[in-house]
Structure 1
Amino acid sequence: MPTFSPRFQRKLAQCSSFSAALSSLSLPPNSTIVDFGCGSCGLTLPLALAFPELRFVGVDIKKTALDLMEARCEEVGVTNVETALSDIGAFEGEYDVAVSLHGCGQASDAAILHAVDRGRPYFVAPCCIGKVKFSLGTASAKKENHANHEGGSGGFASRTAGEGFDVLSYPRSSWLREQQIPTDVFSRICESADSSFMIEGETMNDVAVGQTSAFEYHRRCCNLVCLDRNMYAQERGYACWTCKMPGLEGSAKSDLLVGVPSNAMH
């Protein structure tokens, strides 16, 4: 039996989960799926191979990534994929479903917002939740964001949503905003939701959560951010779920946010 690398197994689990999610919608032929933040083909191409009757559009701000995707599609003979060089917010194409795999920080919210504004179902697997802090306006976030600009890596807040959207506000939902969580506290919650804050075997006594393990603390923070995102869409007429991608249950990047317009439920 061949031995597959852990990375290959993770990608297989991710693509399988998105494939199952798309199958659940029973989409008619020629329906269009847009992949926001598609990169060089990690999700778009496998889905296009799995659903040859559907159309796929990969959206990304990096031309080199899109060029590579086009080359890979040509190499394997895939003809149902197009690419679009665009920020998420500036994308103007028509589509039936939005997907996004590991859009950093604000990019996941931008993908959800784009779909909700158009009344489309979405499947979003968030990533790097801690980068949301660059949209919160705290002193530490501004300092770090400035350092990112100076270092040439680009500011996270300016690179994710794009010119088509105003700066996204946080918390996303009215429900969580009504809890009046201080901005700096919400920023720390977002940071703690990232995998880099999962320290296996240690406790988080230093942040006053008793004997709760670091992993449990991480998951609670992650669950709160996911709930905030779900509540935002629910307040706009969506039915929402936070699902776990099979095979990735122990990973910090195992969540799949599902949103379907309530009037389209059947």
Structure 2
Amino acid sequence: MTKNITAHEDTLYLDGEYTEHGQCFKAETQSILLLSSYCSKIQLSLVLVTKVCLNKGQLKNGIQVPDDCFSSIENKLDHEIPSCIRDCRLPAVCSSDQTNIYSGLCTVLRFVLKRAANMSADVGNKSKLLSLLGHRLYCLKACSEVSPRTKMCEIHMPLIVNNALSDTKRNNEIDIPEGIVLFENLMKQPVVIHNMDKRQRVLLQKLDKSIGNEPIKDSLISKKEKQVVWTKDLPQLEHVFAEGVDFSISDICIFPCVHYFLKTTNISLIKDKIPGILKWYKRMKVLPRLKTALFKCGESFLHFENDGGEKLDSHPESNGTEVIELATGENSEDKKDGKKRIEMTIRRDLPALLQKFNLYNIAVEFSKFNEDEILLEWKSFPKELHPIEGELSSLRAMRKCHQIENLAHVVKNIAKEGDRIVDFCSGGGHVGIVLAHLLPNCKIILVENKEESLDRARARISALKLNNITIYQCNLEYFRGSFEIGVALHACGVASDMVVQTCISRKASFVISPCCYGKVRNCHWINYPQSKLFRRIPVLFEESLLLGHAADKTSWNFENKHAVEGKLCMGLVDVDRMNAAKEHGYNTELYTMQPHTCSPKNNMLVGIAPAL
């Protein structure tokens, strides 16, 4: 199935791997195809990127490309697609001028849905589609490092299908994938939504009307007799869909994965372990539009024994406390020795930890620039270049100017003509846009996952007519291109370390100013402490976290006792970061940005990559 791509049209790139059984797509591709079918008409060109080698996985068929959803369809090999797409993880969307790229499952799902809604001439249909993004259109908006829901949808669930595609064997009798475990546990948790009280009172009215028709608990009868029902007395809402009580894009995202799992599993052996998922799947079957979308994708709902027995609106007697145990999980460092950890506190435990660093002669030394040497001529710049054009207050804009001056000074000194410079966690592009103006012969890349921030950046870039900037809306780990310098201004918590690790993996220099030290956490590719020096002492994970929390006890009164202590703790966290970089051959320097009053988080880490 091939149609010619129309020029000047945004293009959707999906992984189009084949197996010996025919066209069998990865989970991410299946989720986007199902959503596209649900939306009916997507004004996007589709490119299925196919690898030369054929897999020999267990997966057979699955969701296919729906007819008449895309304006054009092509199959291409990896080397035939634009380099800007090869520089990121599929799925991805590329603008016609190749200056705006959207990468990652959740980002692309949201893009496709919003594109379909905005292009719909039917106001009612537009409203229904946008409702799939939930309250304030936030559904699947947060990155997987921050949101457990996004992580489940984007990381854990796709493995169910992708492991089968890569020929990973699964024992149907005993092995329940982690994504299924997480989803089942989610369905057993109490619902928490923004308009929860209102929804609970609607449920109470329904329960009141059921008196006389069905037996209900005495406690509910007593509620009916009350003239005033307190919030604490309202009935608990049941998880109906992934996000709570409303069908959303999350349900469409995970459906292909759950569908495949149920299709290839002996349900009779595990049905008592996944009652929430089975009930969810039955609810999905009564959604006409989803049924039609699934049919257009070449699939149909599964039917189980006694499929029509249980009412979908019934309320289980279970209190939801039973949870499937995982063999391994997040924060496993808390359970390695089987001992319950006592949370460390700044008041009780920080003095001993600081003394520990003194005993091992771990010192913090800061360098600083001459303030006059780093100043930029803001008055001579186009007005759109000033941070105040990024919707900052005048005071914040002035501080942002000082912060940018420190980073830009270092980058200008180490950048060479033709270098690719990546502004990670770029926000509205305050640093990257200035660098694009100062270094017109360098290629600047903005990487950010917040839509609103990038909208502001695009407006400023357009006004300045800058032609050396490319924007990637995605998680920073989804950008996979090569570059020479990575920068980040106040990347939050673990994001700062992800930037450093990304730079090290590409053998690129880095210039970053960390933020939110207390929000560090072990994740799938960062573990604390990071350096061999700190591990030899040893510094425990809990102690790294304690340092981070103490580092956040800063204030605008820089002579305050807590601010001085916070500055020391920031330095110690950054010493760990710098030593980890040194172990990879980097020359490093720790600076205090000038003037130091530009931010309480005024540390700046510079790492010069070793010569190749």
Q: Distance in 1 between matches of 2:525 and 2:467?
A: 36
Q: 1:198 to 1:78 in 2, by over 3 A?
A: closer
User: After superposition, what is the alpha-carbon deviation per residue over 1:88-137, rounded to whole angstroms, capped at 9, x for unaligned?
Assistant: 122112211111111100000000000101111110110111101x33xx
Instruction: Say whether 1:85 aligns with 2:489.
Output: no
Letter in 2 for 1:22: V
Letter in 2 for 1:55: K
User: After superposition, what is the alpha-carbon deviation per residue over 1:125-159, rounded to whole angstroms, capped at 9, x for unaligned?
Assistant: 10111101x33xxxxxxxxxxxxxxxxxxxxx6xx
Q: Is the 8 A contact 2:507 2:609 kept in 1?
A: yes
Q: Is the 8 A contact 1:198 1:214 kept in 2?
A: no
Instruction: Say whether 1:246 aligns with 2:594.
Output: yes
Count the aligned residue pairs: 221
Which residue number corresponds to residue 64 of structure 1?
452
Letter in 2 for 1:243: Y
Instruction: Say whether 1:22 aligns with 2:411.
Output: yes
Q: Distance in 2 between matches of 1:233 and 1:24?
A: 20
Which range is displaced more, 67-76 or 97-106? 67-76
- From 378, 402, 420, the equivalent of 1:13 is 402
Instruction: Say whether 1:223 aligns with 2:571.
Output: yes
Which residue number corresponds to residue 235 of structure 1?
583
Which residue number corresponds to residue 109 of structure 1?
497
Q: Distance in 1 between matches of 2:598 and 2:447?
A: 29
Q: Is the 8 A contact 2:482 2:506 kept in 1?
A: no
Which residue number corresponds to residue 257 of structure 2?
none
Which residue number corresponds to residue 526 of structure 2?
168
Instruction: Please list, as runs of the form range in 1=range in 2, the aligned pairs for 1:13-52 lying within 5 A after superposition.
Output: 13-28=402-417, 30-52=418-440
Give the Å deviation of 1:214: 1.6
Which residue number corresponds to residue 152 of structure 1?
none
- DSSP-derived class of the 2:433 partner: helix
- DSSP-derived class of the 1:170 partner: coil
Instruction: Say whether 1:192 aligns with 2:550.
Output: yes
User: After superposition, what is the alpha-carbon deviation per residue over 1:202-229, rounded to whole angstroms, capped at 9, x for unaligned?
Assistant: 6xxxxxxxxxx22221111111001000
Q: 1:243 to 1:214 in 2, by over 3 A?
A: same
User: After superposition, what is the alpha-carbon deviation per residue over 1:24-67, rounded to whole angstroms, capped at 9, x for unaligned?
Assistant: 11412x22100110111221112211222211000011233223
User: After superposition, what is the alpha-carbon deviation per residue over 1:143-180, rounded to whole angstroms, capped at 9, x for unaligned?
Assistant: xxxxxxxxxxxxxx6xxxxxxxx331001111111112
Task: Extract unaligned runs of 5+ from structure 2.
Answer: 1-378, 380-392
Whose radius of gyration is greater, 1 or 2?
2
Q: Distance in 2 between matches of 1:84 and 1:94?
A: 14
Q: 1:221 to 1:198 in 2, by over 3 A?
A: farther
Q: Distance in 2 between matches of 1:250 and 1:42?
A: 15
- DSSP-derived class of the 1:263 partner: coil
Letter in 1 for 2:449: I
Task: Extract unaligned runs of 5+ from structure 1.
Answer: 136-156, 158-165, 203-212
Give the Å deviation of 1:85: 1.6
Higher relative contact order structure (alpha carbons within 8 Å, sequence separation ≥ 6): 1
Which residue number corresponds to residue 145 of structure 1?
none
Q: Is the 8 A contact 1:124 1:258 kept in 2?
A: yes
Which range is displaced more, 61-70 or 87-96? 61-70
Q: Distance in 2 between matches of 1:195 and 1:37?
A: 23
Give the Å deviation of 1:186: 2.1
Q: Is the 8 A contact 1:15 1:47 kept in 2?
A: no
Higher normalized strand content (fraction of residues): 1
Q: Is the 8 A contact 2:554 2:562 kept in 1?
A: no
- DSSP-derived class of the 2:504 partner: helix
Which range is displaced more, 30-39 or 60-69? 60-69
Which residue number corresponds to residue 128 of structure 1?
516
- DSSP-derived class of the 2:525 partner: coil
Give the TM-score taking structure 2 as reference length: 0.34
Give the Å deviation of 1:183: 2.8
Q: Distance in 1 between matches of 2:424 and 2:598?
A: 25
Q: Is the 8 A contact 1:10 1:248 kept in 2?
A: no
Which residue number corresponds to residue 127 of structure 2?
none
> RMSD in angstroms over aligned alpha carbons?
2.2
Which residue number corresponds to residue 13 of structure 2?
none
| Segments ≥4 residues shifted beyond 4 Å | 195-202
Which residue number corresponds to residue 375 of structure 2?
none
Letter in 2 for 1:194: D
Q: Distance in 2 between matches of 1:15 and 1:216?
A: 24
Which range is displaced more, 63-72 or 46-55? 63-72
